[in-house]
Amino acid sequence: MVSSGMHEIETKHTVIIGDSRSMREIEDESIHLVVTSPPYPMIEIWDSLFRNLDEKIDRLWRKMEASSRDEYVREIYDLMHENLEMVWREVYRVLIPGGIACVNIGDATRTFKEVFRVFPNHARTIEIFEKIGFVTLPYILWKKPTTKPRYKGKGAFLGSGMLPPNAYVTLDCEYILIFRKGEPRRFKPHDPLRYASKYTKEERDQWFTQIWDVAGAKQQMPEVERRVAAFPEEIPRRLIRMFSIIGDTVLDPFLGTGTTMKAAIDLMRNSIGYEIDRSLLPLIEEKVGVRRRRIDRKYRVSIVESCGT
């Protein structure tokens, strides 16, 4: 329960237009929590982003399109995760000892050159985080609305849809991977901000279980938010409550339309967000209230250009 005096806390929020593979604007060990949903490798809506970020991916993609085989697919997949790894290394640098990183990511299914396969993004991400030096904590499965199972990559069942063995399991869950930098975070005894940030027993019992059913919230989003794969606000809201305290600083290296920053404002945390797509800035400004101030929260929002890589 937040005391009335806590509402007088002013928080600061910075939108950085730039590439989070190099977060030079953020000092070492200055972030308490990272909550983000990166572009998922091998999901079609993100192909152009990865190709624009890395000319090696674009070159291999053109070779793959000109080939009769899918021999370049695995190399492209590896390069996509190598680009994300640059962000995860920056995340490790800026997190305080004991800081937490929460990464919402889904696996991908896709057919290239008539070969269907699964791309296990969550497993690759865990491997990379552990290589960097993070401690892996138990992850959350976010159960999302299902789509119809398909046969051989096509949008229909075989026959009646009841005949084995060539259908495949639908991917109806995404992962919220949770990592910690080193040992658990330490606090002074009876830290007032920590106690003011506590959750209820009912919230604890609901949030600290492995399967979250937040289905439906995503379907209510505007089309542009679905297009950039934004997650519903309930996801960062829970994670911020679970893994930070009032006055902490939350980072989202893939800010999108600003969902994490809005949740941070609501919960009296400071925040920083990187977004490489400048066209999303008007949506971010609208969501976080740059032009229309709220009377129940004291906060400042600044928008800056990245100093570059």
Rounded to an integer, the average pLDDT of 216-230 is 52
Mean pLDDT (the chain, rounded)? 89
In this predicted structure, what is the pLDDT of residue 223?
A: 53
Model confidence over 44-69: pLDDT tens digits? 999 999 999 999 999 999 999 999 88
Model confidence over 149-171: pLDDT tens digits? 554 545 444 444 677 887 788 88
Model confidence over 76-116: pLDDT tens digits? 999 999 999 999 999 999 999 999 999 999 999 999 988 89
Nearest-angstrom CA–CA distance, 209 and 138: 10
DSSP-derived letter for residue 167 is: B
pLDDT band at residue 22 under the 50/70/90 scheme: very high
Determine what percent of the chain falls in helix, strand and coil, rounding each to the nearest 5.
35, 25, 40
Rounded to an integer, the average pLDDT of 130-138 is 98
Domain ranges of the chain: 4-305
For the domain made up of 4-305, give the CATH fold. Answer: Rossmann fold (3.40.50)
pTM attached to this predicted model: 0.91
Pairing of strands 95-105, 173-180: antiparallel
User: Token digits for 13?
Assistant: 């929020």
Contacts with 106 (C-beta within 8 Å, 6 or more apart), sequence order: 40, 43, 121, 122, 171, 173, 174, 175
pLDDT band at residue 294 under the 50/70/90 scheme: low
Contact predicate 130/178, CB 8 Å: no
Nearest-angstrom CA–CA distance, 90 and 80: 16
Model confidence over 246-284: pLDDT tens digits? 999 999 999 999 999 999 999 999 999 999 999 999 999
In this predicted structure, what is the pLDDT of residue 9?
A: 87
Kindly tell me if the per-residue pLDDT of 229 is higher than 60: no
Sign of CA dihedral 208, 95, 184, 40: positive
In this predicted structure, what is the pLDDT of residue 156?
A: 44
In this predicted structure, what is the pLDDT of residue 218?
A: 45
Kindly tell me if the per-residue pLDDT of 285 is higher than 80: yes
